[in-house]
Homo-oligomer: A and B are copies of this chain.
Amino acid sequence: MTALAFVGGTGPLGRGLGLRLAMAGHSVVLGSRSAERAEGVAAELDAPVGGTDNAAACAGAEVAFVTVPFEGQESILPTLGRELEGKIVVSTVVPMAFDAGGPHPLAVSEGSAAEQCQALLPGSRVVSGFQWLPAPTLLKAEVVVEMDVPLLGDDEAAVEQVAALARDVKALHGFMAGPLRLSSTVEGLTPLLISVNRRYKAHTGVRFAGLARD
């Protein structure tokens, strides 16, 4: 059992992935700017999940997932540097916007949201992944979500620990895919998949065909 926190965990991905990891036996606490809101959202999930403010959630965690909107991380993450010092931080953040032409990636001066996360939290071990999991489906506890989860990071041991967490969730295949500087591509797959899904009224996921599974 690993103690997990979700920064900005009251959104769809925090709730959905938090639920699945709690179902897998991990200790999960959703963080929010408002402890009351986090407690209320956590109490509605179909598994024992805690809720508190972001700093308290991170202070008690071994691994923290960042599930804030991209626009929010530059203000939120620096306030958590002490709580996250030396810990594994999983960036799930997608720099993306929508306009009349549909979804599109936003340029990030650091290269990607995950690299920006690492720059904002220099004492943490950042791993990038989980960007295009279907959050609403994760919330349906009875549905098996079969998906490849490529993970990127410069700390191999940290990536392996996150891959093991992913694999604790049935049918999620977490695996080390490369260094953090390749993160912009996996982040960009979210707007690409939304574009494809809108056009074909489909629910596609990306699968790395030809890779051995567990």
Contacts and interface: CB of A to CB of B under 8 A. Distances in A.
Contacts of A192: 150, 177-178, 182, 185-186
A79 to B, nearest CB: 30
Contacts of A209: 204-207
Contacts of A208: 193, 196, 204-207
A136 interface: no
B196 A211 contact: yes
Contacts of A129: none
A86 interface: no
Interface stretch (A2-10, A13-21, A28-36, A97-105): A97-105
Interface in A173-191: 175-179, 181-182, 184-186, 188-189, 191
A20 B188 CA distance: 30
B210 A204 contact: yes
Nearest to A181: B104
Main secondary structure of the interface of A (DSSP, over half): mixed
A111 to B, nearest CB: 8
B105 A184 contact: yes
A143 interface: no
A145 to B, nearest CB: 11
Interface of A: 101-102, 104-105, 107, 111, 150, 175-179, 181-182, 184-186, 188-189, 191-193, 195-196, 199-200, 202-212
21 contacts: A101-B179, A105-B182, A105-B185, A107-B111, A150-B196, A175-B200, A177-B195, A177-B199, A178-B191, A178-B196, A178-B199, A182-B188, A182-B192, A182-B195, A184-B185, A186-B192, A188-B188, A200-B211, A202-B210, A202-B211, A207-B208
